[in-house]
Amino acid sequence: MSKFEYANAPESSAILNLQSRYQLFINGKFVAPKSGKYFKSINPATAKELAEFAYANNSDIDLAVKSARTALTKVWSKLPAAERGKYLFRIARILQERAREFAVAETLDNGKPIRESRDTDIPLAAQHFFYHGGWADKLDFVVKNPKPYGVVAQIIPWNFPLLMLAWKIAPALATGNTVVLKPAETTPLTAMLFAQVCQQAGLPDGVVNIITGDGATGANLVKHPGVNKIAFTGSTEVGKAIARSIADSDKVATLELGGKAANIVFNDAAIDETVEGIVNGIFFNQGHVCCAGSRLLVQEDIANELVLKLQRRVSLIRVGDPMDKNTDMGAINSAAQLQKINELVESGNKEGAQMWQSDCKLPTNGYWFAPTIFTGVSQSHRIAREEIFGPVLSVLTFRTPQEAIEKANNTQYGLSAGVWSDKGSKIMWTAKHLKAGVIWANTFNKFDAASPFGGYKESGWGREGGKHGLLAYLKAGK
């Protein structure tokens, strides 16, 4: 027992009016699924059922796509662009007003700490709508005679449920498209709350449709002939399947997929702040981040000191009840994800890397994994090549800047990277040679609606956010 034990400081969930069952949101209304089926979403911190969600089958998908088409031709395409912008601003303001409720819902459904949903996810989601609201009537600055694609199918992951929804819906609406969105099977709650926000904002019926289901629902939505464009964030495996399934159609796609980011630390870096950045890079959101700094590349002459400082810092990470305001790391999102992490960690041990884990106490119920650091990792180890998507850091060393670049780029991915150095010129040189869509210098995991996000190689197609992100939703008209 330490001297200064922080007493429990739980956020109250009373603000959330949790329904026992959520329906599909089609054509502005909550409707029972034609499938007649429902599935459960659980709270990963307790493994207890949170609520039931409707399962959308092909008939439901068809209704949703048709509703989006009707809304597009009858209403949305006829509105002046500035009017579209007004809806986005209205949604942004409602998200801010209901921020606490959304934060609570996100934490209960996803398992992430309330501090992160409160301070990161929800404010950034609102910012995304504000930012894109401003673009709606200025699209001529993006392309000449901008035209929307039409009906967009959007499939989002479980790691930042509301934020990814915002990344998808805000640019689509700003550019004049209509939407059918499918949230992840394990985290549909905030999407259904967002459906209420659409109603509250008076958004015309059918402009946004939200259907819940599993992988098959997503695959069938992608295949629906009424869909003009696909926007997907998720695993590289599913991204490839989407690319294959639309290969013989005129559908276009933006794909934001996996990553295995190199976080490069030079020996002249500000070491204490670098330690903070490494922690934020890999333990933020339990490591369920596609751009996580999961491969730490440290200059060999400071590796021992850095790892020591890192371990001391990681021991302080408070793992536990995500609703507690002092929790730094919450629950692993699902049993399946926990199994995947366990499997990769086992491979790291088998392949000869040295594992260190924080001796933090883990709760008994729910899905948990202690912050883990592997040292002595080689490029050939699976934990250096494959995305673990959990709180597991692989530490590799390098001797020269050239070697750092070679190792950093030696991956099938290229979503993000980090550089730590006190020398501006070295940062610029390194950034120039890194093959990654986002490069952070002396920081990590910082997001802004104005900054394009996306990957090289198997990390995806296209960009989201900023002016580049709008291009993904626009055709140049004649």
Partner 1 sequence: MISPGISQNVPKINSEQELRNFLKTLSPVDQVGAQARAAMLATRSIKTTSKLWAIDTAISMVDLTTLEGADTPGKIKTLCAKAVRPDPTDSSVPHVGAVCVYNDLVAIARKELDAIGGSDVPVAAVATAFPSGRASMKVKLADTKDAIESGATEIDMVIDRGAFLSGNIGLVFDEIVEIKATINELSGGRAHLKVILETGELVTYDNVRKASYLAMLAGADFIKTSTGKVNPAATAPVVLVMLEAVRDFCHDYGRMIGVKPAGGIRTTKDAIKQLVLVNETAGEKWLDPKYFRIGASSLLNDLLMQRMKMKNGYYSSANYVTID
The residues assigned a catalytic role are 256, 290
Nearest distance, CB of residue 439 and partner 1, angstroms: 16
Sign of CA dihedral 421, 423, 426, 431: positive
What is the maximum alpha-carbon separation in the chain?
71
Radius of gyration of the chain (CA): 22
Here the tokens at position 277 are 């950045």
Residues that bind partner 1 (CB under 8 A): 2-9, 115, 119, 268-274, 276-277, 316, 325-326, 422, 442-443
**Residue 9: CB minimum distance to partner 1, A:** 4
Which residues 6+ apart lie within 8 Å of 425 measured at CB?
none
Instruction: Name the nearest CA neighbour of 448 among 130, 174, 172, 155.
Output: 130
The answer to whether the beta carbons of residues 33 and 57 sit under 8 Å apart is: yes
Provide the 8-state DSSP code for 453: B
Say how far apart CA 127 and CA 91 lie, in whole Å.
10
Q: Which residue, 18 or 441, is less far from partner 1 as judged by CB?
A: 441
Task: State the minimum distance, in angstroms, from the CB of residue 442 to partner 1.
Answer: 5
Closest CB 319 distance from partner 1, rounded Å: 15
Q: DSSP assignment, residue 140?
A: G
| Residue 308 C-alpha from the chain's centroid | 30
C-beta of 147 vs 318, nearer to partner 1: 318
Q: Report the nearest approach of partner 1 to the CB of residue 274 (Å).
A: 8
Measured between alpha carbons, how far is 319 from 286 in angstroms, rounded to an integer?
9
SS3 assignment, position 250: coil
Q: Which is nearer to partner 1, 77 or 326 (CB)?
A: 326
Which neighbouring-strand residues pair with 95? none
Pick the closer one to partner 1 by CB: 56 or 275. Answer: 275
153: Cβ contacts below 8 Å, ≥ 6 apart: 65, 180, 181, 182, 221, 222, 224, 227, 229, 230, 231
Q: Residue 68 has which token pair? A: 């989006």
Measured between alpha carbons, how far is 86 from 340 in angstroms, rounded to an integer?
Answer: 43
Least distance in angstroms from the C-beta of 325 to partner 1: 4
**Separation between Cα atoms, residue 420 and residue 269, nearest integer Å:** 5
At its nearest, how many Å lie between partner 1 and the CB of residue 115? 6
Between 5 and 250, name the residue whose CB sits nearer to partner 1: 5
The CA distance from 466 to 450, in Å, is 4
Q: Which is nearer to partner 1, 147 or 313 (CB)?
A: 313
Q: In b/e form, how buried is each residue of 142-158, taking b as 16+ CB within 10 angstroms? A: bbeebbbbbbbbbbbbb
For partner 1, the closer of residues 243 and 441 by Cβ is 441
